[in-house]
Amino acid sequence: MKSNILTQLLELEKNELKAWYDMSDKENDAFYIALAEFADDNQTTFKEFCLQQIPSEETCLSIVYEAITKKSNSFNALVFDEIKRVIQYSKNQKEYENIDTLLWNFDLKNMYQHDFQTYTKIISYLISEIKPLQEIDFNIIILDTIDYYLIDFEKDKDDKKKIFEEWKTKLEQMLPLANKELKEKIEDLLEIKKISSNDLKIKLILFALFIAGVVLYRQFFK
């Protein structure tokens, strides 16, 4: 099974993953499940295999990352390590153009639900990687990745919203040093969340007005 599934991965990697993209969604999903099951049963071997792969979009890691985040909850620590490895590799190589393609193969919805602690570590790490005076292309990619990973906190408990406010404050503190492009990107990200928060307030106000109307109706027309 080891040689079979990992050999299949390396075969799919050829010709810029053409064979993978030629497969149907159903076939892709079946492969994700098989790979996640193998990974769960052979965690050490699987982690070693990941570390042997260069973190670039042309490798089979894009398949690996989707499989372990969509079909398993056993590799959250590895996911965090791989996100850091992708970013550090791109910084060392000074190649930022396509790292978002690889980073966006991580689907963090399951992690958000089942391992919020690791999820917050990932977002906090990404924010810490933004340096207003460094490569603008890198900063923009990291901001886009944060935007992609963020979940709608408005539906959750106050402790989760508090963490988002802490992230928001850290981003706001970068604005004075940011150039025009980075500043606009940060403001866009913050505005998206601000609008979301305002929408919630409007809904609460409308609901309160509705209740008040019902009370007045019952008083005058009962």
Last-in-domain residue among 72, 107, 123:
72
Question: Do 135 and 181 touch, CB atoms closer than 8 A?
Answer: no
Question: What's the confidence (pLDDT) of residue 162?
Answer: 84
Question: What's the confidence (pLDDT) of residue 191?
Answer: 79
Q: What's the domain range around 91?
A: 79-222
CA distance 181 to 203: 33
pTM above 0.75, yes or no: yes
Do 148 and 206 belong to one domain? yes
| In the block, residue with structure tokens 């790490």 | 125
Question: What's the confidence (pLDDT) of residue 200?
Answer: 41
123, 91, 90, 88: which is closest to 106 by C-alpha? 123
Do 83 and 68 belong to one domain? no
Do 61 and 136 belong to one domain? no
Conformation bin of residue 197: beta by default, left when phi > 0, alpha when psi is -120 to 50:
alpha
Do 115 and 197 belong to one domain? yes
- What do you get for the CA distance between the two ends of the chain, in Å? 74
Amino acid at 208: A
Do 136 and 28 belong to one domain? no
Question: Do 167 and 123 touch, CB atoms closer than 8 A?
Answer: yes
Both tokens of 60, joined, read 């089979």
Low-confidence ranges of the chain (pLDDT < 70): 1-3, 152-158, 192-222
Domain count, the chain: 2
Do 97 and 192 belong to one domain? yes
Do 199 and 97 belong to one domain? yes
Question: What's the confidence (pLDDT) of residue 210?
Answer: 60
Question: What's the confidence (pLDDT) of residue 205?
Answer: 58
pLDDT in tens, 21-73: 999 999 999 999 999 999 999 999 999 999 999 998 778 999 999 999 999 99
Last-in-domain residue among 11, 38, 72:
72
Last-in-domain residue among 57, 72, 87:
72
Question: What's the confidence (pLDDT) of residue 219?
Answer: 62
